[in-house]
Amino acid sequence: MKEYILLIDTIDEKGLVYNVSKILFANHLNIEQNAEFVDKDTNKFFMRSVISGDLNPNILLKELKEVLPKDSTVKLNLKSKKDIVILATKESHVLGDLLIRYIDGELDANIKAVIANHDYLKDLVEKFDIPFHCISAEDMDREAHEDLVIEQIKEYEPELIVLAKYMRILTPKFVNSFPQQVLNIHHSFLPAFIGANPYKQAHHRGVKIIGATAHYVTDDLDEGPIIAQDVVRVDHTYSWQDMRRAGRNVEKVVLSTALQHLLEDKVFVFGNKTVIL
């Protein structure tokens, strides 16, 4: 029996859960899992339900929209593996972690390919029998290189694109080509450091917390809706190399957590933030 994920984003009002449940019951569908959230400040209601049974998606969506407030967003996704493409540069830690999780069956996804602007990671990727494409940016302007990357990505028609320490700033053209499909990971200190070798800067400043943030990519650099974050504590005994090691470990966990949320259709984008159900 097929399972579907029902996603509802609407204005909150009395009887929403009852009306939705009544429609599902009338269509002989079973609710396997259910989660809801109401944002009190905006009166917005979010609902994610895993349902099972034989259904006609068009009929079910029509019936649901008839009982929900006007301008509600209702999505019905077949519960299945999503196709993803990974972009990388030279760093192997988050890419290697995703590949191992993939082979171990921890990621409910199909990694269709890895695309990089250097060939450093070719041998690693090919050990997992995954296509690797090196699209060098040498002697090319940003737009020309990006056009080649976009063309290569589109050949695989992925539902999600994961930046596994892809060290190039994406243009609005790229972002608009894959709206709400691009996931990024980066370190995040308190306080923050930018530029060359942030771990050395953090070590000199004596930071006590190292973290990582996974977020959607938007036109605003590193300011897209946040999906997952975590931190680890460090102290004066850590060298900058120790800090970098700790930072890379937390980046791996945060990226895989955020990706899993997306693969399971748990993420609602709400303004410039997210609701995870």
Q: At what angle do helices 93-103 and 240-263 cross, to 10 degrees?
A: 40
Q: How many angstroms separate the CA atoms of 228 and 215, rounded?
A: 7
Sign of the torsion angle spanned by Cα atoms 237, 242, 248, 253: negative
| Annotation says 222 is catalytic | yes
Give the type of residue at 123.
D
Helix (H) or strand (E) holding 73: strand 73-78
CA quadruple 139, 145, 149, 155: dihedral sign: negative
Which distant-in-sequence residues (6+ apart) come within 8 Å of 276 by Cβ?
227, 261, 266, 267, 268
Half-sphere exposure of 223 (CA within 13 A, CB side): 4
Annotated catalytic residue, options 12, 39, 108, 222: 222
Closest by alpha carbon to 117, among 144, 99, 80, 78?
Answer: 144
Q: Which residue, among 82, 80, 71, has the nearest Cα to 8 in the 3D structure?
A: 71
Picking from 31, 103, 56, 47, the residue whose alpha carbon sits closest to that of residue 266 is: 47
What dihedral angle (degrees, nearest 10) is formed by the CA atoms of 183, 270, 265, 11?
Answer: -170
Instruction: Count Cβ atoms below 10 Å from residue 128 Cβ, excluding itself.
Output: 15
Contact 183, 162 (CB under 8 A): yes
Active-site residue set: 222
